[in-house]
Amino acid sequence: TAYRRQRQMCIRDRLHTVMAYAKQNGFEKLTLAVNEANERNMHLYGKAGFRTKIKTIDTDLLFFTPNGDPIKTQTLGVYCCEL
């Protein structure tokens, strides 16, 4: 849909803005944690250079209910991009 395309363009534009800022300020590498099940975003991040997987994060360790029980979310892949 048009909404989905617009959202993807916004994500792409923000990603390119962050990458340009990082490069201008002396960064050599960026890392990005992504939901690997989202194929559209994985394609977008890959095109931007985030192709090397560093590790996997189990997000059950990050989110908890008020009584302390872990919330089942998804596993995130951490990718890096050389600038």
pLDDT one-digit tens code per residue, 36-47: 888 888 998 999
| pTM of the shown model | 0.71
Confidence of residue 60 (pLDDT cuts 50, 70, 90): low
- 14-49 burial: b if 16+ Cβ within 10 Å, else e: ebeeebeeeeeeeeeebebebeeeeeebbebbeebb
